[in-house]
Amino acid sequence: MHNEFQEIINCLDTEEPSTKELAERIGNLCLSKKGTEEAIKELVEKVADYEADVRTCENVPFCNLLLSFSYYHWGDLPQAAIYAEKAANQFNRCGNRWNRALSLWGQAAIYRDEHLDQAITEYKSALKLINAIVNDADRRGLHNKYKYSKNVAGRINDKLKELEERSTASNAAYQNASSKQKWARPYSWPTARIIYGVYDIGHASKVGKYILDDGQIGEMSIDEVNFDEMKHKVYNLREGDQITLVPGKDYRWLKVAGNSMNRANPIPIEPDNYVLADLGQKPQVGNIVIANLHNPPTPAERAGVIKKYTNDGLKSESTETIDNIPLTDVDIRGVIIAVAKRDG
């Protein structure tokens, strides 16, 4: 397994011998392409088993982090990033700051070759969490924990400094680039289909009124949409190649302006793309959302902003430097579930 991933695995906080044995076995399997395929299959099955049993559900984020590293070795960067972020969110819900920080470190390791700025952001987030643990251990007189945490913080900081040095020239090039330039895709994204239910027709009663029968009898799907008479391919921001639209929910297509999410993961959201919003859906950490600003600084932003929903506010993922927006300054209107990009 990749040296940095192995370093992260060695630092994970777990007393479960089975988890440590699993991590070692997955690391050995990922030494070959065939072994990596076996590792992914095994981990997917384990996640399903663990999620079905409340006694073992705490093992799920460990498996998702290992899945992330396995997908990276398989060459599927979008899935690798998705599972690392999922692990970080799950560890956060469990109150495990240490393993959450290591999952953020894992995200940084995934991004570092293709998404330099995003990798730096994740290294900084991981370092911030580890430093908080260092300070807490120091305050409570936990000398061994302080020493160990300090060492891990130093290793993350070294990797951060290395990337910051690499990014100086790269950032200058991005700042001088035309806003019309497209960010080069580091990999090809799988397209998705939008699924609609097909329902039974209304039946006429004896008095001539129609009684609607809402029983679903089938489904239809589309894999491309037209905007301004131009074909657009659809990409799912969630897992899988299907986007199922639920009856009774409010969905809207929105045209994108600006570069604030042009390095979004797993699919960059660029000017003149279209996004499909599920209005009214409650956001979770890591979702990309559409939000209204309470006090928009420019007239253009009265229409709303598209950002990543995090515990630290609404965050941009961009080639530009953009401050986070506090959650107290916005109203979340919905969650972005798909992106449509011009075909060709």
- What CATH number is associated with residue 135? 1.25.40.10
Same domain for 132 and 253: no
Same domain for 294 and 165: no
The answer to whether residue 186 is domain-embedded is: no
The answer to whether 88 and 66 are in contact (CB under 8 A) is no
The answer to whether residue 182 is domain-embedded is: no
Same domain for 136 and 9: yes
Same domain for 91 and 116: yes
Same domain for 229 and 300: yes
The answer to whether residue 307 is domain-embedded is: yes
Same domain for 10 and 148: yes
Same domain for 297 and 228: yes
The answer to whether residue 16 is domain-embedded is: yes
d(CA 335, CA 324): 18
Structural domains counted in the chain: 2
The answer to whether 231 and 342 are in contact (CB under 8 A) is yes
The answer to whether 69 and 2 are in contact (CB under 8 A) is yes
Mean pLDDT confidence for 54-78: 84
Q: Which of 150, 176, 202 is the last residue of a domain?
A: 176
Pairing of strands 193-199, 242-244: parallel
Q: What is the domain range of residue 92?
A: 3-176
pLDDT reading at 187 higher than 50: no
- HSE at residue 74, side-chain half, CA atoms within 13 A, is 22
156 membership: H or E segment, kind and range: helix 143-176
The answer to whether residue 168 is domain-embedded is: yes
Nearest to 73 by CA among 5, 156, 159: 5
Lowest-confidence region among 103-117, 195-209, 242-256, 267-281: 195-209
pTM: 0.54
Read off the CATH number of the domain in which 332 is found.
Answer: 2.10.109.10
Same domain for 321 and 279: yes
Same domain for 228 and 162: no
**pLDDT tens for each residue of 274-291:** 999 998 788 888 899 999
Nearest to 255 by CA among 235, 275, 236: 275
Same domain for 336 and 207: yes
Residue 181: its pLDDT value, please? 41
Angle in degrees, CA 19, 24, 28, rounded to 5: 145
